[in-house]
């Protein structure tokens, strides 16, 4: 498998029990000026109340709504985590969002970017409910009964 480029992925998990949609919109505006774009994921952040201590963690569990901002940058264009922290802090200050802690993750990744609406390259076999399928080099799907 060949990838087109090596990148650095940043993921910032932001938890809040309040609506932070204005913060997310502003953070996306600021970060995309540096990165060209990003992905916003929603979920639930779960932790133990003693989770910032040493294991074993035995305190009660807590949770809140979480939003993850994730994006990639080329190593040559990476301004560093402090730049992104500052942009998140600026968005928080401007919107007065109810946010205190942010979890940041940084990892090297190999990335590819391609058009899904183009014909497939090469031949691909697939199964269907009524028989075997075959995708030809020009993207034509043929079902064999």
Half-sphere exposure of 60 (CA within 13 A, CB side): 2
pLDDT for res 3: 57
Give residue 125's pLDDT.
57
Position of tokens 């992104």? 84
Residue 41, pLDDT score: 98
Give the DSSP letter string of 51-98.
TTS-SSP-SPEEEEEEEEEEEEE-GGG---HHHHHHHHHHHHHHHT-S
Enumerate residues 6+ apart whose C-beta is below 8 A from 69.
10, 11, 12, 14, 24, 27, 28, 31, 38, 39, 40, 88
Blockwise average pLDDT, block size 10, the chain, 145 residues: 80 95 98 97 94 95 96 94 97 96 94 86 56 49 48
pLDDT of residue 32: 97
**Residue 87 corresponds to which tokens in the numbers above?**
């942009």
Q: pLDDT at position 121, please?
A: 78
Query: Whose structure tokens read 């993750």?
Result: 105
Among candidate residues 82, 93, 83, 67, the one with its CA nearest the CA of residue 14:
67
């Amino acid at each position: 498998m060949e990838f087109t480029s090596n990148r650095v992925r940043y993921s910032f998990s932001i938890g809040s029990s309040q609506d932070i949609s204005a913060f997310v919109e502003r953070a996306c505006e600021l970060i995309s000026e540096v990165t060209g774009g990003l992905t916003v994921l929603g979920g639930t952040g779960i932790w133990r109340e003693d989770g910032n201590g040493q294991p074993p963690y035995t305190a009660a569990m807590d949770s809140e709504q979480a939003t993850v901002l994730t994006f990639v940058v080329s190593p040559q264009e990476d301004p560093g985590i402090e730049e992104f922290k500052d942009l998140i802090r600026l968005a928080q200050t401007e919107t007065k969002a109810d946010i205190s802690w942010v979890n940041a993750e940084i990892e090297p990744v190999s990335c590819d970017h391609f058009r899904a609406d183009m014909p497939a390259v090469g031949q691909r076999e697939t199964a269907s409910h009524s028989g075997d399928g075959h995708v030809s080099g020009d993207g034509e799907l043929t079902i064999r009964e």
